[in-house]
Amino acid sequence: MGSVTFDLEQTPVREINHFIHKDADIGDKIAITNAGGAHSIACGCDKELEIIIDGHAGYYAGGMNKDAEITISGSAGTGVGENMMSGKIHVKGFASNGAGASAHGGLLVINGDAGLRCGISLKGGDIVVGGSVGSFSGFMAQAGRMVICGNAADALGDSLYEAIIYLRGEVKSLGADAQFEPMTDDDYAVVAELLSQAGEDFKKFDPKEFKRIASSKSLYHWNSDANQEY
């Protein structure tokens, strides 16, 4: 186990990612300073590392993450945590469009708001958002959980499959096939656990304040009489 620091003003992203993939050892702590909105920082991690990104990250930060724990001290651009398999990514600021897209596993935490299509095509990962989310968040989410501590814009959960969305605030509209369902004791326990995993900033939220959104499953089978209306 060791500690190493890279300065993105001195070392390009390609070299840093090469070190992460080839030379870093399990348990290493890697600090990346002067991020400056660079794209694809810490993509493709496949071992247990602690990676701290100082500053704002560009597109696809932490994409395809496996096992690593990645902290971004600023905000993140499009596709943070895209297709992540496991581990944890914590964005201390805001996240742009498509956060956590197609994530199969792991936990994505966003302290602030998230943009359009947060959790699109979610396939098993968990996402906790401290603020609000943009339109079409949870679109075609197939598995996993989303906890939204703020509000949601239009078409939340459009074309949901087996994923569950927990919303604390208000929603402008639900998408096709999404519906509110009663919260159960198991749901409250899930929300409490995910808030706990998200960290200290999320302990202020009460699981009892959340609502459950799931699929009504009317899209599971084609209906010739639906006339494109669900």
Tokens 């959340």 identify what position? 210
**CA–centroid distance for 144 within its chain:** 11
Whether residue 160 is contained in a domain is answered as yes
Q: Say if pTM beats, i.e. exceeds, 0.85.
A: yes
Task: Give SS3 for 19.
Answer: helix
Per-residue pLDDT, 218:
85
**Residue 162's domain spans which residues?**
3-215
Query: Encoding tokens for residue 192?
Result: 């409490």
Mean pLDDT value across the chain: 96
Alpha-carbon gap, residue 121 to 206, rounded angstroms: 27
Whether residue 183 is contained in a domain is answered as yes
Q: What CATH code is carried by the domain that includes residue 211? A: 2.160.20.60
Number of domains in the chain: 1
- List C-alpha distances in Å: 175 to 127, 136, 219: 19, 7, 12
pLDDT tens figures, 17-53: 999 999 999 999 999 999 999 999 999 999 999 999 9
pLDDT tens figures, 167-194: 999 999 999 999 999 999 999 999 999 9
